Amino acid sequence: MKKFVNDPANFVPEMLEGVALANPDMLGYIPKFNIIHRSDRPVNNKVSVIQGSGSGHEPAHIMAVGPGMLDAAVPGNVFAAPPMDYCLECIRAMKSDAGVLVLINNYQGDRMNWDMACEMAEAEGINVKSFVIDDDVAVQDSSYTTGRRGVAGNFFVIKACGAAAERGASLDELLTLCDKVNSQVRSMGVALTSCTPPAKGSPIFDLGNDEMEVGVGIHGEPGRRRDKLKPSDAIMDEIFDAVAGDIPFKSGDKVALMINGLGGTPPSELYVLYRRAAQRCKDAGISVVRNYVGNYCTSLEMAGASLTMLRLDDQLEDLLAAPAEIATRVF
């Protein structure tokens, strides 16, 4: 295992401590429950938007906390759902008169723990609702899900809800918005290598030197098939067809286009992929009005990438362009 890690048991707490130390003014940190939150939250009259899932997908979700994005994130261990009591403490810490919205990616562990936490919070009189994201077109059911998985499309649900909540949207309005984004966003990814959780110390699956996993999940779950590695354009063509064909996207659509790196793929390759995706959109008469190229939802150091497309209307275009601030400094 070649990683920057001390005791693997402390990997997540040390990462969280690093994030908190790097953002002393903007973020608060509750070590006992792995909670990273906006230092100025909760605020009454604003819905708190929160999320918690396994670690190992950074910058999702702890580095998506900030004004106009998430109000708090509560990660579990690497690739493990946060314990129910962590979820409940996060809801309690972020409770607001306007309510709490929990964004859940569709994995059984996450859903189970959040469902229990929401029930207990409601029993305490907290106004909390949840929404499940399932944007991955690769497979209908998978190792850890009934139904489709939630992957990088989650970013757009966070951004839209974060912006709308900042403008005063109610909890019901946010649930309607979640449903709109989730119904219009589709993703699919490809892995070129496996990855190694620090506490496991060995790769979570094996992939031959000339192989790729088409439709991989963000925890290494099997996708549609294993295939021989192909040229970049051929790979993009396959995932573009799968993603664009799913709603389907059609000529005249305006979209946000994301090429998401899975952790170990450098920016140069992501832009080679973007080039082909942009060409395919142009050929299909689809207008890319906003684009994202980088690491948004990773699988530790996995080499690979995913494509996410979101169909936009005026409301979504406006919300994506809203100001936001997160725990990542670019310049």
- Helices (H), ranges, the chain: 11-22, 84-93, 108-123, 154-166, 171-184, 232-244, 267-283, 314-320
Residue 59, preceding bond cis, omega within 30 degrees? yes
- What pairing do the DSSP bridges indicate for beta strands 185-191 and 128-133? unpaired
Is position 9 an interface residue for its own copies (rule: CB under 8 A)? no
Is position 32 an interface residue for its own copies (rule: CB under 8 A)? no
Cβ 199 to its own copies shortest distance, Å: 13
Is position 31 an interface residue for its own copies (rule: CB under 8 A)? no
Residues 31, 168, 267, 285: which binds its own copies (CB under 8 A)? 267
- Helices (H), ranges, 2-107: 11-22, 84-93
Residue of 37, 41, 46, 57 marked catalytic: 57
- Nearby residues of 42 by Cβ (< 8 Å), 6 or more positions away: 48, 71, 93, 94, 95, 96
Q: Is 219 a residue of the active site?
A: yes
Residue 61, preceding bond cis, omega within 30 degrees? yes
Residues 50, 161, 270, 316: which binds its own copies (CB under 8 A)? 270
Q: What angle do CA 117, 129, 165 make, to 5 degrees?
A: 125
Which CB, 92 or 280, lies closer to its own copies?
A: 280
Asked if 93 and 62 count as a contact pair (C-beta separation under 8 A), the reply is: no
167-186 mask for its own copies (x: CB under 8 A)?
Answer: --------------------
Torsion of CA 273, 277, 280, 285, to 10 degrees: -160
Contact stretch for its own copies (CB under 8 A) within 56-64, 116-124, 130-138, 176-184: 56-64
Residues 298, 306, 311, 319: which binds its own copies (CB under 8 A)? 298
Residues 26, 116, 247, 293: which binds its own copies (CB under 8 A)? 293
Of 292, 290, 282, nearest to 251 (Cα)?
282
Asked if 178 and 47 count as a contact pair (C-beta separation under 8 A), the reply is: no
**Cα 75 from Cα 83, distance rounded (Å):** 9
69-88 mask for its own copies (x: CB under 8 A)?
Answer: x-------------------
Cβ 305 to its own copies shortest distance, Å: 7
Is position 40 an interface residue for its own copies (rule: CB under 8 A)? no
Q: Is 37 a residue of the active site?
A: no
DSSP string of 148-180?
A: PPP-TTHHHHHHHHHHHHHTT--HHHHHHHHHH
| Burial of residue 25, with CB atoms counted within 10 A of its CB: 0-12 exposed, 13-18 middle, 19 or more buried | exposed
Is position 251 an interface residue for its own copies (rule: CB under 8 A)? no
Residues 9, 22, 176, 179: which binds its own copies (CB under 8 A)? 22
**Cα 264 from Cα 68, distance rounded (Å):** 28
Residues 96, 130, 184, 265: which binds its own copies (CB under 8 A)? 265
Residue of 46, 111, 149, 219 marked catalytic: 219
Site for its own copies in 183-222 (CB under 8 A): 192-193, 209, 212
Which CB, 88 or 253, lies closer to its own copies?
A: 253
Q: Which residues are catalytic?
A: 57, 219
**Would you tell me which residues interact with its own copies (CB under 8 A)?**
2-7, 11, 14-19, 21-22, 55-56, 58-59, 63-64, 68-69, 159, 192-193, 209, 212, 229, 231-233, 235, 263-275, 278-279, 290-295, 298, 300-301, 303, 305, 324, 326, 328-331
